[in-house]
A and B are shown apart, each in its own frame.
Chain A
Amino acid sequence: MLKMSHAGNYLLGLTMLHYTAPKQADRKKNPVAWCSSIVPVEFLRALDVLPLFPENHAALIGARKMGVELAEAAEAIGYSNDICSYARADIGHILTGKSPVDGLARPDFLVCCNNICGTVVKWYENLAKHFHVPLFLLDTPFNHEREISEHSLRYVEGQLREFIPWLEGVTGKIFDYERFQEIAMVSNETSKLWREVLALAKHKPAPFTAFDTFNYMAPIVTMRGTPEALEYYRLLLDELLQKVKEGAAAVPGEKYRLLWNGIPVWYSMRPMLQLLAKYRANLVCSTYTNGWVLEFDTDNLLGSMARVYSAIMINQSLGLKLTNLQKMLSNFDLDGIIHHSNRSCKPYCFGLYDLSRQLQASNHAVPEMIFDGDQTDPRHFSWAQFESRFQSFIEPLMLTQSPNGYRRQS
């Protein structure tokens, strides 16, 4: 057993709490809501609603290698193997009761935001039908331009205003705006710390890998707006700062700094890390974890929430995605990109080939690799293919780089 850090222990405790508290909750006081991964959870916290996140749960299912078994259970009742494996795995858990965390407590209502995909809308429709519970959809129109249009933002803000009486209706509680503001402030503070954590990867060598951040991210996803999550990121930041001070490297002898573009391959993180470490390559950052840096303007909370929740990267145009990649490449001084062409996540990977083409044509061009995979369902992933693609991606890098370290700054 590895020695667990203080923050690491705290994280385990939080995860336990997150999944067990809803099971024991008095539903009158603490109703339980199932939510898609980036919803304005601040409204829920203000009413003492306990949110659960089937996508986060599905990631755990994937990491514990239960994806195939549960996806197959959903397929047995007619779910196509083509649809998102998070959805299949999670529906499989509902059907079989199997789960790495003893299942999700039954929802009293559902909240879905399509800022990550249209898939969640369909998924939540089916959940509403299955559980016979109400569903609120927050629609954040896809932005095809450089800027999100004003009338789109007004529409989203309008829905946020309607969300309050809807929530009062389903919870039977009165919405306390002041409490909401306090929670939004906590949420803000937490996001800020999360951003600072991620930024530490700018240090050379980086004190962690992007795969570590896939673990660190759980509280920002599931417990945003709680003092516990805030406390966790304080602890984590302290620990990581200490590591930086000591010059600790997540990958000893770090030579290549890479970006991970996509959702993790949850069931294959360890072999990937081992493979990368063999070549002294570190994935120092990812576009995925950035999704939860959500900072609001507390003077115009609803307006800025409308903007922040609409501006999730996979809800934006290819042009903005490109700009984002270019920024990360220079901010983190990166040598290459690994793109996950993920059968489950259409918005994340349709356009990937053109994104890569445009990047190669820009003055930010770095070596890239694209591999075919799936976040939870290993039936759509081939380790042998990943390994050989990675080797053909890293070998040219090895030839063009100075032997003792980093790329020369231009």
Chain B
Amino acid sequence: MESVLQSLLEVAANPSSEVSRWRQRTGGKVVGWLPIYVPEEIIHAAGALPVSLWGGRTEIVRADAHLQGFACSVVRAVLEYGLKGTYNMVDGFIFPSTCDHIQNTSDIWASLFPDRPKFDLVYPANRQSKAAVVYLEQLFADLEQWLEELTGQKVTSEKLRESVKIYNCYRALLADLFSLRSRKPESLSGPEMGQIVKSSLFLEKAEFNRHLSDLLPWLEHRKVKPAPKARLVLTGIMAEPQEILAILDELGGAIVADDLALGARILRAPVREELPLPAALVDRHLRLGPCSTLYDWRKGRGAHVQHLVAEHAADGVIFINMKFCEAEEFDYPVLKAELEEAGIPLLFLEVEQQMAAMGQIRTRLQAFLEVLGKGAGS
């Protein structure tokens, strides 16, 4: 079982070689998608491998000629990878309308790579509108057609139904993994946990499901670290750089629940299999949230995070802020006020994917645990 775990960690550490292998093995097309929400089921049903393009730690050299320094590190890294050829094995690109950064990067991308297939998944932001349903149905139909042209394969309703089943199973398995993280935080190190989720974004999901369902019973009895001193909820875009999770382990803090985009947010809301397809995928998109990038005038995130704290008996919350992510940065003051009122300790941790120095991050995490009465001096 250890080797199964290692193979998943390997995929997360080096996704491009895994993706290249898949491409060679199957002769299939690879479709890369940017954050946050994409109906992967349709890509899967078209016989392509959906892979997430969520940036990464790379020195920004080429992208600076195209994007200002106040663009978020995710889009800067995506552009850098594109320019330096890391994405050469990706056959098609999907840019969702997540935020101004991604939306405008899509146009820069188009001007740099006019011949590489790209689909702009411009979602309806006003999901309350009845007109949004028709619009979204059309959008997914257009996506389907684009994928069919790219792969040369028809997205039949049988294939789509099959893909939906696989993805619902995937979400259920990850829900089990998340439950384990809360019940037995000592079974996986923080970085391992993060890497398993990350690996799922590069592997064909039926394959990933097999691995994870093998692993889960074994993990129940695994112990890699002492019982945590502090139980924490992590909210934000993603838990990167991953050293943060290692530092937390070392200090005795454990993430027992998350509200991360690259995490619980994309894994919520299973597709209702009783509904006809593709309407069921539209229905799922309309039910997603809360998320800083999905319009919500009631600001449900605060209540959700408080719910996570209660459900998982957490001691505090870490708001991990991807610098320059305006959607998150607007949510922060609201969440801060709500958590203060509820008496829940909150740490603001600002990160960029390319950051190397972890000194300040360490100081903050250590001091936060001390504040919680779970660190040195308590």
Contact = CB atoms under 8 A, between A and B. Distances in A.
Interface in B63-121: 65-68, 70-71, 97, 99-101, 103-108, 110-112, 120
Given A124-B297, A151-B138, A318-B111, A141 B330 contact: no
A151 B140 CA distance: 12
Interface string B241-257: 00000000000000000
Interface stretch (B174-182, B332-340, B358-366): B332-340
A303 interface: no
Nearest to A344: B70
Contacts of A317: 107, 110
Nearest to A121: B295
Interface string A148-162: 000110111111011
A358 to B, nearest CB: 7
Given A118-B327, A317-B107, 20 more contacts: A114-B125, A129-B298, A129-B299, A129-B334, A134-B297, A137-B128, A142-B97, A142-B122, A154-B135, A155-B135, A156-B131, A158-B134, A159-B126, A343-B68, A347-B100, A350-B68, A350-B108, A352-B68, A354-B111, A358-B111
B106 A144 contact: yes
B39 interface: no
Given A128-B297, A158-B129, A351 B135 contact: no
Contacts of B296: 125
A139 interface: yes
B25 interface: no
A142 B135 contact: no
A119 interface: yes
Nearest to A161: B131
A104 interface: no
A162 B298 CA distance: 19
Contact of A122 (B65, B135, B326): B326
Question: Which 10 residue pairs spanning A and B have beta carbons closest together?
Answer: A158-B131, A78-B333, A350-B104, A122-B330, A155-B135, A139-B126, A318-B107, A80-B329, A139-B125, A346-B100
A236 interface: no
A155 B132 contact: yes
Interface string A103-136: 0000000000010011101111110110000110
Nearest to B141: A151
A82 B104 contact: no
Interface string A308-324: 00000000011100000
A141 B135 CA distance: 10
B299 A126 contact: yes
Contact of B68 (A137, A157, A341): A341
Nearest to B336: A78
24 contacts: A78-B336, A78-B337, A78-B348, A79-B333, A80-B321, A82-B329, A118-B100, A125-B295, A129-B299, A137-B125, A137-B295, A137-B297, A139-B132, A151-B139, A154-B135, A155-B131, A158-B135, A318-B107, A343-B68, A343-B70, A346-B71, A347-B104, A350-B100, A353-B65
A182 B33 CA distance: 47
B111 A162 contact: no
A80 B332 contact: yes
Nearest to A123: B330
Contacts of A117: 100
B189 interface: no
A80 B332 CA distance: 9
A156 B129 CA distance: 10
Given A139-B125, A141-B124, A79 B329 contact: yes
A29 B132 CA distance: 32
A139 B97 CA distance: 12
Interface string A228-260: 000000000000000000000000000000000
A77 interface: yes
Contacts of A58: none
Nearest to B119: A144
A394 interface: no
Contact of B108 (A135, A142, A318): A318
Contact of A346 (B104, B111, B129, B297): B104
Nearest to B105: A350
Contacts of A319: 107
Interface of B: 65-68, 70-71, 97, 99-101, 103-108, 110-112, 120, 122-126, 128-132, 134-135, 138-139, 292, 295-299, 321, 323-324, 326-327, 329-334, 336-337, 348
B326 A138 contact: no
A319 B107 CA distance: 8
A349 interface: yes
A117 B105 CA distance: 14
Contacts of A347: 100, 103-104
Identify which of B100, B108, B331 gathers the most chain A CB atoms within 10 Å of its CB: B100
Contacts of A154: 131, 134-135
A83 interface: yes
Contacts of A32: none
A197 interface: no
Interface bracket on A? 35 or more
Interface in A44-102: 74, 77-80, 82-84, 87
Contacts of A83: 326, 329-330
A104 to B, nearest CB: 19
Contacts of B336: 77-78
A327 B77 CA distance: 34
B165 to A, nearest CB: 29
Nearest to B128: A137
Contacts of A124: 297
Contacts of B128: 137
B332 A78 contact: yes
Nearest to B127: A139
Contacts of B331: 122
A351 B107 CA distance: 7
B97 A155 contact: no
Contacts of A80: 321, 329, 332
A81 to B, nearest CB: 9
Contacts of B103: 118, 142, 347
Contacts of A139: 124-126, 129, 132, 295
Nearest to A346: B100
Nearest to A91: B333
Contact of B326 (A114, A118, A158, A352): A118
A155 B124 CA distance: 8
B192 to A, nearest CB: 31
A328 B91 CA distance: 38
Query: Chain A CB within 10 Å — which of B124, B299, B326 has the most?
Result: B326
A82 B108 contact: no
Contacts of B68: 341, 343, 349-350, 352, 372
Contacts of B348: 78
Contact of B334 (A126, A135, A144): A126
Contacts of A141: 97, 122-125, 135
A152 B111 contact: no
Most B Cβ at <10 Å: residue of A139, A162, A349: A139
Nearest to A119: B326
